[in-house]
Amino acid sequence: MKVIRKGVTTFFTVLIVAALSFYFGYYLINYASDSMNIIKAEKVTVYNSITANGYAVRNEQVIKYNGDGVIVTTKDDGQRVSKGGEVAKIYSSARDAENQALIQKLTKKIHALDTALDGVTYGASSLSELEAGISAVSMKIQALCATGNGTELAEFVDELNVLLSRKNLILADGAERATATSVLESEVRNLKQMSGSSARTIKAQYAGYFVSMTDGYEELLTMSDVEMLTPENVKNLASSVKPDENAIGKIITDYVWEYVFTATHEQTEDMKVGDSVELEFSFTDDNTLPATVKSITDCGDGNDLVVVECSQMTEDMLYIRRQSAKIIKSSVDGIKVDKMAIRVSDGVTGVYVLRGSQVKFVPVDVIHMAEDYYIVEQGTDADALVPSDKVLTGGKDLYDGKQIG
């Protein structure tokens, strides 16, 4: 039994030694070849940012009406309204409101036909030009539908209606052209006779941008009071909201608005009043809005209440209230290189790159350090590191001018 055990032990010892020899041989071969490991340098932007849940604060005036009747707004969301300008009409019945909506629709058609008749010539060449125009405008409408640009979309839809009307008029016979608008005008007259007394008008008390939606925060979150908010107030905002049943819309009186959020001391330690930051929301498609830090208030619990001010009002910003945002405090542009690529030669920090078949040592200035890579400044002369340079990482026995291959 002892002899058998000794033989087995000797056998496994030989196997282990052989395995270790193979492993270290493989490791040494790969370490030697690692000197030729190449990673392309790439140009990147690194952001110093925090993410927070906050509230949009705007100067807003709620439009209210608590009387009888059917209310129909006459302004589109985001449309500019002057002080005293009409924003809605009140009709005595739903039928009157429907008739008025139809009158407006028919009136637009009449206007489109009148416009279409201006300068109409009848012939194959005119029809060909119109079809080319219809195709071009249709393509613009498709592109705008993809981007969601409502203001421009409405303009091109009107233009398309005019072009289509012109095409119909060219294809129609003389009698149809003569009666193109008369039928519509007759319908409008009949609808006006069927409608009740004239509608009352609701006017804006302030100039600004009309929005048909209210959320109850208009009087809770005001720009004059935002800096006096506390984290406790912010936390309880949602439970304090009481939408006004008499509200029919609001006027945003200024394109300047604010974003208020809480963050930890660590997140705000490199921020100060007056700093420029960028706001990025999920619906802005990686586009950012410039803003300025207006106030930073110590809440006494390890957090700060931060208010940033923005002077750009987009269509989406008319509606948001409680919204998550990325606050970009700063950014660094440069070239990303692996940490293993950084060398020091004769007291100079740099990297070895392969240009052609020759190794070249390129000095670099490190401007940002991450866990496994550095960002170095992109140079301007021929001896500087540039994007797509072949950077050598790992390995040994590299020197400026060494030939490879």
Q: Are 136 and 143 in contact (CB under 8 A)?
A: no
Q: Which of 315, 332, 349 is the last residue of a domain?
A: 332
**Do 218 and 236 belong together in one domain?**
yes
339, 344, 347, 352 alpha-carbon torsion, rounded to 10°: -110
352 in any annotated domain: yes
In total, the chain counts a number of residues equal to 405
66 in a structural domain: no
CA angle centred on 85, ends 80 and 86, rounded to 5°:
100
CA distance 92 to 100: 12
- Average pLDDT over every residue of 265-277: 94
In this structure, which amino acid lies at residue 176? Answer: E
Helices vs strands, H then E, count in the chain = 9, 18
Residue pair 317/268 in contact by the 8 Å Cβ criterion: no
Taking the alpha carbons at both ends of the chain, their separation in whole angstroms is 59
pLDDT of 175 strictly over 70: no
Residue 208, pLDDT score: 93
Please give the backbone phi and psi of residue 353, each rounded to the nearest 5 degrees, phi first: -120, 155
Residue tagged 């981007």 (tokens): 147
Provide CB contacts within 8 A for 369, sequence distance 6+.
375
Q: Which domain holds residue 27?
A: 1-32
Is 399 contained in some domain?
A: no
Task: Judge if 260 and 239 occupy the same domain.
Answer: yes
Tell me which of 3-12, 311-320, 390-399 is least confident.
3-12
Of 106, 115, 114, 116, the C-alpha closest to 167 is: 116
Q: What is the CATH number of the domain that holds 249?
A: 2.40.30.170
pLDDT tens column, 388-397? 889 998 767 8
**What pLDDT, on the 0 to 100 scale, is given for residue 2?**
36
Q: Which residues contact 219 (CB under 8 A, 6 or more apart)?
A: 62
Structural domains in the chain (count): 4
DSSP string, 115-133: HHHTT---SHHHHHHHHHH
pLDDT computed for residue 172 by the predictor? 61
Q: DSSP character for 317?
A: G
Strand partners, 328: 49, 278
d(CA 159, CA 143): 15
Is residue 238 within 8 Å of residue 322, measured between CB atoms? yes
Cα 69 to Cα 94, 168, 397: the distances in Å are 8, 40, 89
241, pLDDT greater than 50: yes
Alpha-helical runs (H) found in 173-289: 174-178, 182-194, 231-235, 237-240, 265-268
Q: pLDDT digits over 54-107, tens only?
A: 999 999 999 999 888 888 888 888 899 999 999 998 888 888 778 777 777 787
What are the residues whose beta carbons fall under 8 Å from the beta carbon of 56, sequence distance 6 or more? Answer: 257, 258, 259, 317, 320, 321, 322, 323
205: in domain: no
Res 35: pLDDT: 47
> Do 320 and 227 fall into the same domain?
yes
Residue 86 lies in a domain: no
Lowest pLDDT segment from 4-13, 57-66, 169-178, 315-324: 4-13
Domain presence at residue 103: yes
Q: What is the CATH number of the domain that holds 366?
A: 2.40.420.20
Tokens 């609808």 found at: 191
User: Are 133 and 188 found together in one domain?
Assistant: yes
CB 268 within 8 A of CB 93: no
Q: Please identify, among 157, 172, 196, the residue that sits at the C-terminal boundary of a domain.
A: 196
Within a domain: 238:
yes
Assigned domain for 77 exists: no
Do 300 and 191 lie in a common domain?
A: no
